[in-house]
Amino acid sequence: MQKPKVCLVGVGHFGKSHLQEWLKLQEHGRVEISALVAETDESESELAAQYSVPVYTSLDAQLLEKIDIVDIVTPAASQLDMIKKCLPHCFVLVEKPLVTSIDELNLLDELLSRYPNKLMLGHNYRFNPVVKILQELVMAREQLPSLVEVTMLNVSAAEVDLNPNLEYVDAFDIMDYLFGLDSTIESSHSVANTHQVSIRYGDSLHCVMNLGWHNKPSKRSIHIVYPDADISCDLFRYSIKISSDNHLETINLSHERTSLRDEMISFLDFVSSQSENLVPPDLATRPLRTALRTTPKKRTNGRPRAAIIGGGVFGTNCALEMNHFCDVSVFERHENLMEEVSFVNQWRHHSGFHYPRSYDTIQEIRSTKNDFEELYNDAVIRDNISYFCPSATGVEIPAERYLAACSSNYLSYSIEYPPAGIVDRDAISVSIKTDEGVYDFYKLRDMIERRLAAAENTNVFVGANIVDAEILPDGRKKLSIERNGEIKTEVFDYLINATYSNRNLLAKWFSFPVEKLRFDLYEMLVVRLPIEQLCVTIIDGPFTSIVGMGHDNLFLVSHIHDSVLKSQVTEDGMPPDWGEIQSNSHNMLLSASKYIPVLKQAEIVESRYATRAVNAFARDFDARPTVIRNHGFDCWSVMGGKIITCVSNAREIATTIERSLRV
């Protein structure tokens, strides 16, 4: 075929882009544009005036006889009929999505087998320069990544009546192009105008897609996570960033949009040679089939079931926020709830005075305070006055900077000192009296336990250790529960990992990417002091403190250096086995009493030990954010930074899940 005759059907927004490219190809002598088919008489006359090409309002057999190629750029609903009409006569290039249901897809498959090598589905992103480079990068690696996140979101404040899976079928096509693997596990849900689709390809490659419309700027991105590297690309900016240990490389490509032209040239090569099927039919239909299969469906099998691993303050509050729309089971390995970090901590009901170097943390405290106090105000002791005193020798947060940080964050205080003999005034530069409270731990736990006991649809299993889990092909999660020496399995729709230091449990079980954590073995000293209840925190320098526990002259003592007995970043992100623990109480008291001399009179009651977990790469050492991770596959992890955020964070998870149930 010398110069194929082209007919373009549909000259709307996308159709015009196609027309521009056909005109360029015509200029280069590759094709002859023989017809345009417009939807209405009005657009017919407009187009006829603008381009010297015959314009029609319908596609009939007479016209098709004169044509070699039909390029269909019309809405999905009309595409299949059009293809049926064209295939007996000519080659067809058609823009996605092409079908709207599995029945239509089966019909398309049948047509493709009857007229092989005649249709190419627009595979725009296969010709996208960024995606092409991405494929080279992926092929060059021996290992598969553990996670790929594909985001295709357009801006829209209004409700959109389209299926994001089909509108953004490119996401499925890109995955097919990059990895060519079959999907083995699929789960999906929708929230407002977006779909979150989770797919496991092959044995271990997880992909989470966010597709649809939101009221933020449009976004097209692909993020590929390998154990030792990260590749992220912005398809709007034509840029790729590759980061691995201590190394960052950026590739910026030309913004000239060539993918459509490349696609058309490739189609023309295919038409003229007729020998090779450049884009075989199953490549057209495979991504469509996955997109249709993973379109979220309305639940038909009753209330969903959620499992929460971890009966600390975060897990229990997640249960209490979720039980009105699902049946919840909380699994706690100890015989009592809240025995780990929810107990072994400083019991501060934070106001923000602790975080002069992390304004984000202060804001998080301020924004979550009301939710917490609405439920647990009675568990907060407020008549324990809390003093904060910048160290006289600290260089990072001198008094002026500290007071400025408090004022900038609207933290109210007065300049007042603790009673004589408690703090060495020469060792501090100023002292402020604040409104910060202290938790009555036992009251807090009692309130939570009462709420759980009264809650419907909620089962709490103590002494229940979750030892393993697996995602089933339908996306549900099967847990292995060890209790009373027996192991049983149970299946759940949603899984929340609220285990704090075991935050990487899901990564371990499901091969999700591991989050690098630094674990500190932390010693908290309980002492008896001959003074009234109060709290004193030395800011900067040793960050040492005494926190009145509300009764029996008991105080919690900690020290920024001497409380940390061991520290380790583990390869698998799981907490280390600390082995035998040796107390450092003597040095703690010695160092702390330089600032708080009353500690020389301390009677040691006990040492409590906790494993503190923080992001291994966090640059902001003061920040203690609560981090919620939505892994996809209806799995979440939460690592609580401060107790005060537990209600708001539980509500955030619950709201997202509940909204996803309203498909």
What is the rounded distance in angstroms from the CA atom of residue 515 to the CA atom of residue 508?
11
Which one, 122 or 310, has the nearer CB to ligand FAD? 310
CB of 94 to ligand FAD, least distance (A): 51
DSSP assignments along 409-435, one per residue: TT--EEE--PSTTSS-GGGBS--EEE-
Residues near 406 by Cβ (< 8 Å), separated by ≥ 6? 352, 353, 356, 413, 432
Q: What gap in Å lies between CA 278 and CA 23, rounded to an integer?
A: 23
Is residue 498 close enough to count as binding ligand FAD by CB under 6 A?
yes
Binding to ligand FAD, residues 336-375 (CB under 6 A):
338-342, 345-348, 350
Q: Decide: is 310 part of the binding site for ligand FAD (CB under 6 A).
A: yes
Please report how close the Cβ of residue 501 comes to ligand FAD at its closest, in angstroms.
6
Select the residue interacting with ligand FAD from 333, 357, 476, 631 (CB under 6 A). Answer: 333
Identify which of residues 345 and 429 has a Cβ nearer to ligand FAD in the complex: 345
Q: Is 612 in the site for ligand FAD (CB under 6 A)?
A: yes
User: In which residue are the tokens 């209405």 written?
Assistant: 40
List the one residue from 15, 97, 312, 575 that touches ligand FAD (CB under 6 A): 312
Asked if 117 and 191 count as a contact pair (C-beta separation under 8 A), the reply is no
CB nearer to ligand FAD: pick between 213 and 522: 522
Which residue in the set 332, 440, 540, 562 belongs to the binding site for ligand FAD (CB under 6 A)?
332
Among 122, 304, 315, 573, the residue binding ligand FAD under the rule CB under 6 A is: 315
Q: Name the token pair of 373.
A: 């106090």
The H or E element containing residue 615 is strand 603-615
Contact call for residue 321 and ligand FAD (CB under 6 A): no
Q: Which is nearer to ligand FAD, 293 or 483 (CB)?
A: 483
The residue from 361, 641, 651, 653 that contacts ligand FAD (CB under 6 A) is: 641
Give CA separation, 396 vs 116, 407, 541, in Å: 72, 17, 8
As measured in angstroms, the least distance from the Cβ of 481 to ligand FAD is 8
Whose Cβ is closer to ligand FAD: residue 499's or residue 607's? 499
| DSSP symbols for 243-263 | EETTEEEEEE------HHHHH
Reported as type and span, the H/E element at residue 659 is helix 646-661
Compute the residue count for the chain.
663
Asked if 99 and 80 count as a contact pair (C-beta separation under 8 A), the reply is yes
Stretch that binds ligand FAD, among 161-169, 313-321, 375-383, 405-413 (CB under 6 A): 313-321
- Name which of 329 and 345 has its Cβ closer to ligand FAD: 345
Please, which residue, 212 or 315, has the CB nearer to ligand FAD? 315
Tell me: does residue 123 bind ligand FAD (CB under 6 A): no
Stretch of 41-49, 207-215, 278-286, 637-645 lying at the interface with ligand FAD (CB under 6 A) = 637-645
**Interaction between residue 647 and ligand FAD (CB under 6 A):** no
Smallest Cα–Cα separation from 74: which of 49, 110, 98?
Answer: 98
Is position 430 an interface residue for ligand FAD (rule: CB under 6 A)? Answer: no
Residue 311 touches ligand FAD, criterion: CB under 6 A: yes
Site string (260-299) toward ligand FAD, x via CB under 6 A: ----------------------------------------
Told to check if 537 binds ligand FAD by CB under 6 A, we report no
Q: Name the nearest CA neighbour of 276 among 122, 123, 70, 120.
A: 120
Residues 660, 643: Cα–Cα separation, whole Å: 27
Instruction: Compute how many residues bind ligand FAD; rule: CB under 6 A.
Output: 35
Q: How many CA atoms lie within 13 A of 109 on its CB side?
A: 13
513 binds ligand FAD (CB under 6 A): no
Query: Where is 35: in which H helix or E strand?
Result: strand 32-37
Q: Residue 510 in 3-state DSSP?
A: helix
Binding characters for ligand FAD, 453-482, by CB under 6 A (x = yes) = ------------xx----------------
* Among 70, 152, 240, 644, interactor with ligand FAD by CB under 6 A: 644
- The residue (of 285 and 323) whose beta carbon lies closer to ligand FAD is 323
Q: What stretches of 38-97 adopt beta strand conformation (E)?
A: 55-56, 69-72, 91-94
Binding test (CB under 6 A) with ligand FAD, winner from 610, 628, 653, 661: 610
- Only segment of 181-189, 274-282, 334-342, 486-494 that touches ligand FAD (CB under 6 A): 334-342
Q: Least distance from C-beta 268 to ligand FAD, angstroms?
A: 59
In the complex, the smallest distance separating the C-beta of residue 644 from ligand FAD, rounded to whole angstroms, is 5
Question: Which residue among 93, 111, 313, 588 contacts ligand FAD (CB under 6 A)?
Answer: 313
Contacts by 289-293, CB closer than 8 A, 24 or more apart:
289/102, 289/105, 290/172, 290/176, 290/183, 290/186, 290/199, 291/97, 291/165, 291/166, 291/169, 291/171, 291/172, 292/99, 292/101, 292/102, 292/105, 292/165, 292/166, 293/102, 293/186
The one segment of 47-55, 145-153, 577-585, 634-642 that binds ligand FAD by CB under 6 A: 634-642
Q: In whole angstroms, what is the distance from residue 627 CA to residue 502 CA?
A: 13
Sign of CA dihedral 362, 366, 372, 378: positive
Residue 637 contacts ligand FAD per CB under 6 A: no
> Counting contacts by CB under 6 A, is residue 198 touching ligand FAD?
no
CA distance 642 to 375: 16
State how far the Cα of 338 lies from the Cα of 443, in Å rounded to an integer: 12
Report the nearest approach of ligand FAD to the CB of residue 498 (Å): 5
The single residue among 500, 510, 555, 636 that binds ligand FAD, judged by CB under 6 A, is 500
Query: Is there binding between residue 544 and ligand FAD (CB under 6 A)?
Result: no
- CA 117, 122, 123, 127 dihedral sign is positive
Question: Which residues neighbour 501 within 8 Å (Cβ) at sequence distance 6 or greater?
Answer: 340, 341, 517, 519, 575, 611, 612, 613
Rounded least distance, CB 333 to ligand FAD, Å: 4
DSSP 644: G
d(CA 296, CA 289): 14
Question: Could you tell me which stretch among 10-18, 191-199, 368-376, 641-649 binds ligand FAD (CB under 6 A)?
Answer: 641-649
Q: How far is CA 67 from CA 70, 80, 286, 380, in A?
A: 7, 19, 29, 80
Q: Using CB atoms, what's the residue nearest to ligand FAD?
A: 312
Nearer to ligand FAD, 76 or 565 (CB): 565
Q: CA–CA separation, 93 vs 113, rounded Å?
A: 16
Piece in contact with ligand FAD (CB under 6 A), picked from 17-25, 99-107, 600-608, 640-648? 640-648
Q: Please list, residue by residue across 318-354, b when 16 or more beta carbons sit within 10 angstroms of its beta carbon and e when fewer do.
A: bbbbbbebbbbbbbbbeeebbbbbbbbbbbbbbbbbb
Q: Determine contact, residues 311/462, Cβ cutoff 8 Å.
A: yes
**Contacting positions for ligand FAD (CB under 6 A):** 309-315, 331-334, 338-342, 345-348, 350, 465-466, 498-500, 502, 522, 610, 612, 640-644
